[in-house]
Amino acid sequence: MNEKLRYMLIILTVFIFTSCTKDNQQLEMIPEESKMEAINFSTKTLSFANENELYSTISSLILMDAQEREQWLRSHGGFVSQSEAALLASEQIAQCKSINQMLALKDQYSQFIFNDTDPTDLVPYEPTSNFGSSWVCNAYGDVEVGGKVVNLNNIKAYSETFYAKIEQENLTRATFTNNLYIKTTKRKVWADTGWVLSWILNISTGQFEISQSNAVLGLKLATHYRDGLGIWHTYNNLFVITGKRASFSGFAIPTQSCPPLTVINGGTYSGVHGRNYFFPLGHLAIQAIPTNNVKGTVEIYTEAIGVANKGTLIIDKPKEIFNLNPYAM
């Protein structure tokens, strides 16, 4: 064989061998998709002497701002509320690098409710329907009342959540009365309005009654976003609420100590809130369930959605939608 040709063949062989070796090294350096482990939440429970103390605490938490509520939760060292746990699980799922990784992690969070009708929705929903209860029970729904552990979970499917109910209602009608649902290609916003009533047990009669100091008309707000993989997650966002024709009147048995409703009355309110936030439109001291003709209009949008996609919410005789008695299911 020609010496020059032999030399070229040797060089080519070395080049091919070296290239293959480098390719193999590169392939070996690419790790297989790692499986993420779900957070093992603490089972520690909060303890309340009786139902009255439990309901009073929930009422106080609802009216706190985010920072005050955070400080309250941190004061109970080692306790992780169901609301916190759902948010931590959601953040962990959102950090996954692929849909398969997200799905594998989702399957480990069996203590939460997931949307069984939309495979792109991987948000962990709280299995407690009573507003505020998820702040006092642990990740698994447990709380201690009167020396006994009680489980507050009462939702078994996504269709039972306020998200699903509002979404369905707003898809089947043109006007948004007492709740609304806004959806763009990458954002969703829910708003539900109604009375938050604090229930107390009258020892003499054995009947549940409404506290005179804890009747609040307000909005429950929540928002989701879609990531680059087309998956929906939850997040904090800047909500903007504008009073358009906010004239509210007609309450049941108002008292002298009743402060006027603090509705924005043509003004604008904005602030960054979590995925599950209650905005009080006004407080009312009453002695019975409101049989009123409260009416008004507010406009709601988020910074991400933009004012062009705002939703108009008509408030018209809102009902009691946030029941603070976890046992009244």
Q: Mind listing the pLDDT tens digit for each residue in 24-55?
A: 433 333 344 577 899 999 999 999 998 888 88
CATH of range 161-323; options 1.10.10, 3.30.70, 2.40.128, 2.60.40: 2.60.40
DSSP state of 138: B
Q: Is the pLDDT of residue 230 over 60?
A: yes
Q: How far is CA 248 from CA 63, 239, 252, 259, 264, in A?
A: 20, 22, 13, 13, 11
Which residues are CB-neighbours of 89 under 8 A, at least 6 positions away? 38, 39, 109, 112, 124
Tell me which of 71-80, 88-97, 189-198 is least confident.
189-198
Instruction: For residue 279, name the pLDDT band (cuts at 50, 70, 90).
Output: confident
Q: Are residues 147 and 158 in contact, defined by beta-carbon separation less than 8 angstroms?
A: no
Domain edges within the chain: 28-159, 161-323
